[in-house]
Structure 1
């Protein structure tokens, strides 16, 4: 029974421009490291081939160094690799695939599926039917030719494509490069290996998205896996998810209304690990002591994890009466503090009173520090 590894959406060369340079470089490096882990996984799982369902590269113009590093990473598995162009690295007349070929860096055991024609893998007993993209978007189902293409008797037919199976992905997802949901059945495929959706997803027993092996976005869509697939002519394939990803991406949104809400956020931050990438969004209100605790926790977490971005625009400062008294703001300044606090907490919320309140309290706290405004250790 042939066995292969199904993976996709490596997007080597991705720049991660939304992050600070030190984080962006490490996240880009993690994608190459994931390929090295895939090669080791293919060797350890004793697969007959590795099928990559598109978007090997993130762009059509990459440095020679990046291309060479990618093909060097494939050396960890000596069996056949089949690399399919996707929408990010379509098989253009002049593009990243032609650059790799011109450099002469594509190893002999790596098959570039640049044309819609069968690729025979005798050592694996497989015939791969690829549907390479030759432009970023198409309105036609490029897998249609699978249905009428004969293959030698006794060989297992496997499809390889990159696109969108309509009706199975979230409605908000754009749907270029359509793929028929029943293509595996219509084309008599033992398995259809798909790429483009970055999460691991089963369409039907013979059709799967593997997802990207290294998570690269905050959407919780089951990224970070490769699929080990055992296929035969008649029985359904046996599909096993194997962990590959290094980083975990968290998007955490919380509204703070009571002190226990802040305690829960601080405990959550305390549990994050070095390889975590975090998008934290907070709304609600905090008193001065709570804000000091939060700022301390954010600083400590940012130093510990791979990346932390926090959005606090929806968080209003709501000093208690005792905290306002401790600022020793008498007369007009005291009245202004109270007015700003009330305005910041009165719907509809406006950022201006909240910002003014924060600036004024910070100035007063520098002149009149008090125990209530001192940072408190996080859990």
Structure 2
């Protein structure tokens, strides 16, 4: 009587990653389809009954045909049933990615759950109750029909929905497409498979978000997983196994340079990032450095930029604090030396509104002299 399936959601195939330019962004886009292929192989290896995808399979209804076809190719390793639920990014509009997919021709094992009707099979062991979104934001609860849905006696009832569970998600979460927190109880569900929240999370009894299988943002919310679920029968507790699937790791790091040296940056990155080539890093720097240390920091950051998949640097909290040694190392004299002294005085005067500009000017002079061989 056991029913075993894989719960996943929020693939967002076609996500542009506009803030990650060039080849790095292209690799992030391609990896989302490669991760789908890994999910298919996992489902096949575990000999599961189905894969339930709880919405936002695609990033929008405007993705290219090529993206749709490549996604369909990625599914082929698993010949069991795929249940695709339209979410808020790929809602089941009159003309959508789903209507285009049907026109392309899809395999019989691919079910587009764009209507609120039960999906049966599996020798009567289970019934899937889908709640597709037919617009980006639904004002009414799309899971309400679960409560009165008729199913074969003894069949497991599994809900499939996309949205925010009322009273459970953080206040920053999108509140549209709301789902009652007790829906699994009122609809007598063995499991409610949800999408929309990008981290793996048991949000209420028998109610789970799987999160996105390929991490796509700097947030510590346990993303990058799928859930393998086993239901032994009506009333039996669910067994849920979390399986890691993400190729890329995303890190949000802060480095405070409190000793006036650049050493903390490499130490932090070396400790936090185990596989640099697969790491997307947002690094915020604070503190102060001499011009000589800032020059060394720039060189270290350039090395890390070449090692990491992508580095997003925020240096607004970092201040250059020129020392006497910095200025003495510049091979200058006369009025140039006098100008540098005045720049340093302005840079160190917190009441001077042009202090930031003076610090930038000092750094530019130092770097220019260093690159031209004018530093002793």
Is the TM-score greater than 0.5?
A: yes
CA drift at 1:281: 1.4
- Taking the aligned partners of 1:292 and 1:149, their CA distance within structure 2 comes to 67
- TM-score normalised over the length of structure 2: 0.93
Alignment gaps of 5+ in structure 1: 372-379
Cross-structure match for 2:323? 320
- Taking the aligned partners of 2:123 and 2:330, their CA distance within structure 1 comes to 78
1:4, 1:229 within 8 Å by CA — same for their partners in 2? yes
**CA 1:228–1:124: 2 relative to 1, 3 Å:** farther
CA drift at 1:152: 0.6
- Taking the aligned partners of 1:338 and 1:157, their CA distance within structure 2 comes to 77
CA drift at 1:326: 1.4
Cross-structure match for 1:171? 171
Cross-structure match for 2:58? 57
Matches within 5 A, 1:80-91: 80-91=81-92
Cross-structure match for 2:229? 229
Q: Could you give the per-residue CA deviations for residues 317-370 of structure 1, whole angstroms, max 9, x where no partner exists?
A: 112211211114444433433443344344478532222121122233345544
Cross-structure match for 2:93? 92
**CA 1:284–1:70: 2 relative to 1, 3 Å:** same
Cross-structure match for 2:302? 299
1:313, 1:351 within 8 Å by CA — same for their partners in 2? no
Cross-structure match for 1:152? 152
- Taking the aligned partners of 1:328 and 1:25, their CA distance within structure 2 comes to 46
User: Are positions 1:118 and 2:123 aligned together?
Assistant: no
- Taking the aligned partners of 1:62 and 1:240, their CA distance within structure 2 comes to 32
Cross-structure match for 2:365? 360
- Taking the aligned partners of 1:222 and 1:174, their CA distance within structure 2 comes to 18
Cross-structure match for 1:212? 212
Q: Could you give the per-residue CA deviations for residues 63-111 of structure 1, whole angstroms, max 9, x where no partner exists?
A: 222111111111111111100000000000001100011111x211011
Cross-structure match for 2:246? 245
- Taking the aligned partners of 1:286 and 1:8, their CA distance within structure 2 comes to 45
- Taking the aligned partners of 2:21 and 2:190, their CA distance within structure 1 comes to 44
**CA 1:336–1:47: 2 relative to 1, 3 Å:** same
Q: Could you give the per-residue CA deviations for residues 111-143 of structure 1, whole angstroms, max 9, x where no partner exists?
A: 110001111132582201010000001222111
- Taking the aligned partners of 1:351 and 1:162, their CA distance within structure 2 comes to 48
- Taking the aligned partners of 1:242 and 1:346, their CA distance within structure 2 comes to 55
Alignment gaps of 5+ in structure 2: none
**CA 1:53–1:347: 2 relative to 1, 3 Å:** farther
- TM-score normalised over the length of structure 1: 0.92
- Taking the aligned partners of 2:142 and 2:346, their CA distance within structure 1 comes to 59
Cross-structure match for 2:289? 286
Partner SS for 2:306: helix
- Taking the aligned partners of 1:331 and 1:281, their CA distance within structure 2 comes to 38
Stretch deviating more after TM superposition (349-358 or 129-138): 349-358
Aligned-CA RMSD value: 1.8
- Taking the aligned partners of 2:349 and 2:131, their CA distance within structure 1 comes to 58
Stretch deviating more after TM superposition (60-69 or 264-273): 264-273
**CA 1:244–1:366: 2 relative to 1, 3 Å:** closer
Q: What is the number of equivalent residue pairs in this alignment?
A: 369
Q: Could you give the per-residue CA deviations for residues 169-208 of structure 1, whole angstroms, max 9, x where no partner exists?
A: 2212221110111110111000000000111111124011
Cross-structure match for 1:310? 313
Q: Could you give the per-residue CA deviations for residues 1-37 of structure 1, whole angstroms, max 9, x where no partner exists?
A: 2111000000111121211121111001100011001
Partner SS for 1:76: coil
- Taking the aligned partners of 1:341 and 1:282, their CA distance within structure 2 comes to 22
Q: Could you give the per-residue CA deviations for residues 28-58 of structure 1, whole angstroms, max 9, x where no partner exists?
A: 1100011001011111222111100000111
Stretch deviating more after TM superposition (55-64 or 285-294): 285-294
2:9, 2:195 within 8 Å by CA — same for their partners in 1? yes
- Taking the aligned partners of 1:124 and 1:318, their CA distance within structure 2 comes to 73
